[in-house]
């Protein structure tokens, strides 16, 4: 987003939605008349993104009811929507923020309205069970296994900070393709996300980064309307024990302790003076260093489940996605770093809701 658009979305503004439909790399329609809709994202789910659209059946001299036409722009036979959120920045200019690519999963016509449901592009991997057991070759690496499981449905891009390594012999996955990808990434200390351009980006598990937005509950200038916090011990651990097996068949392990001074589950703190371990095991771990890296990544993922969360209602911000870091003032916090875990963005005038986790 430009600095102008970022300033505009801090208060009330005029918005619009546009969408293109593509099938097999061919543009089917570039001006779909969206009347209403919403987008939700939750990175605790296998497929984080969900979109629902309401479209007038007849508009622009075109019938938007897909009927039985497999090549219709709104049919669910591989059609993908590229959705942009528009912000009026003044002077008759609309700045368009790309929200990403979404696979149409169903379309239903009721009278003069067509309801279209979409899901994130990881749906292509989630629904594609392995036809036969998948066994990596002796030359395969973690990166090549991920590519073999995902491409050509999605093009994979790897962060330069990841260090690739060989896959141990004897690995096999039977049916769950997305589960196999997740197992590889867990052992690698990595996580996946689909970018706005439709690529599957593999990057280290991390909550690092500078805040992209500051929000507060200041009555006069704040963007937050309501706060609701919650805490739980469910899924809370103060260390992770990751176990594997070296080339000689010996069991190895690495431990990561929650040593953060701001963590309510800090090891040796009041949460529990004794270790509360989370066990993690993978045959992909063949050195102690790999075990330690995987343990640290699992600890970060566990924090996403159990750390303090705040429910925020605010003016819609079309630049936010899950994983973004915010600076939050309110609910007893002052400029606290928080990560967006889930969100709901309306595609018509309304309020946006976020669930943010205190880091």
3-state SS, residue 297: helix
Stretch 175-191: mean pLDDT: 97
Tell me the HSE value of 218 on the side-chain side, using a 13 A CA sphere. Answer: 11
**Phi and psi (nearest 5°) for 217?**
-105, 20
What's the rounded Cα separation, in Å, for the pair 300 and 303? 5
pLDDT given at position 226: 59
What's the rounded Cα separation, in Å, for the pair 156 and 150? 7
pLDDT given at position 12: 86
Model confidence at 228: pLDDT above 80: no
Tens digit of pLDDT for each residue in 34-91? 999 999 999 999 999 999 999 999 998 899 999 999 999 999 999 999 999 999 999 9
pLDDT given at position 221: 56
pLDDT given at position 311: 87
Place of tokens 């019938």: 63
- Mean pLDDT, all residues of the chain: 93
The tokens describing 167, both together, are 């896959």
Tell me the HSE value of 313 on the side-chain side, using a 13 A CA sphere. Answer: 6
pLDDT given at position 230: 66
Stretch 295-314: mean pLDDT: 87
Taking alpha carbons only, the member of 170, 172, 171, 202 closest to residue 189 is: 202
Percent residues over pLDDT 90 in the chain: 80
* Residue 113 CB partners (closer than 8 Å, separation 6+): 35, 54, 55, 56, 57
Beta strand 239-245 with 277-281: parallel, antiparallel or unpaired?
A: parallel
Tens digit of pLDDT for each residue in 118-136? 999 999 999 999 999 999 9
Stretch 313-330: mean pLDDT: 93
User: What pTM did the predictor assign?
Assistant: 0.92
Tens digit of pLDDT for each residue in 127-163? 999 999 999 999 999 999 999 999 999 999 999 999 9
pLDDT given at position 146: 98
User: CB of 165 within 8 A of CB of 277?
Assistant: no
**Phi and psi (nearest 5°) for 6?**
-60, -40
């Amino acid at each position: 987003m430009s600095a102008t658009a970022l300033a505009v979305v801090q208060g009330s503004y005029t918005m619009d939605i546009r969408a293109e439909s593509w099938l097999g790399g061919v543009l089917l329609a570039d001006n779909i008349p969206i009347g209403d809709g919403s987008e939700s994202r939750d990175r605790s789910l296998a497929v984080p993104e969900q979109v629902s659209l309401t479209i007038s059946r007849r508009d622009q001299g075109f019938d938007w009811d897909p009927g039985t036409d497999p090549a219709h722009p709104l049919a669910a036979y591989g059609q993908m929507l590229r959705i942009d959120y528009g912000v009026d920045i003044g002077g008759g200019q609309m700045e368009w923020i790309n929200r990403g690519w979404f696979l149409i999963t169903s379309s239903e016509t009721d009278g003069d309205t067509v309801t279209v449901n979409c899901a994130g592009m990881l749906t292509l991997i989630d629904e594609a069970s392995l036809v036969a057991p998948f066994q990596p070759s002796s030359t395969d690496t973690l990166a090549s296994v991920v590519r073999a499981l995902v491409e050509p449905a999605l093009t994979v891009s790897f962060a330069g900070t990841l260090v690739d390594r060989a896959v141990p012999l004897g690995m096999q996955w039977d049916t769950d393709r997305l589960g196999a990808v997740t197992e590889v990434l867990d052992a690698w200390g990595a996580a996946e996300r689909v970018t706005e351009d439709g690529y599957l980006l593999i990057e280290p598990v991390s909550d690092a980064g500078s805040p992209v937005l500051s929000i507060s509950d200041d009555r006069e200038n704040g963007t937050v309307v309501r706060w609701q916090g919650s805490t739980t011990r469910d899924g809370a651990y103060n260390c992770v024990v990751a176990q594997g097996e070296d080339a000689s068949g010996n069991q190895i392990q690495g431990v990561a302790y929650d040593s953060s001074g701001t963590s309510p589950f800090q090891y040796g703190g009041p949460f529990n003076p004794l270790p509360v371990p989370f066990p993690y095991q993978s045959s992909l771990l063949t050195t102690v260093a790999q075990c330690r890296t995987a343990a640290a990544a699992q600890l970060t993922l566990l924090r996403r489940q159990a750390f303090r969360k705040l429910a925020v209602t605010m003016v819609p911000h079309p630049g936010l996605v899950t994983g973004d870091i915010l600076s939050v003032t309110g609910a007893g916090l002052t400029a606290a770093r928080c990560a967006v875990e889930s969100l709901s963005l309306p595609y018509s005038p309304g309020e946006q809701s976020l669930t943010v986790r205190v880091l």
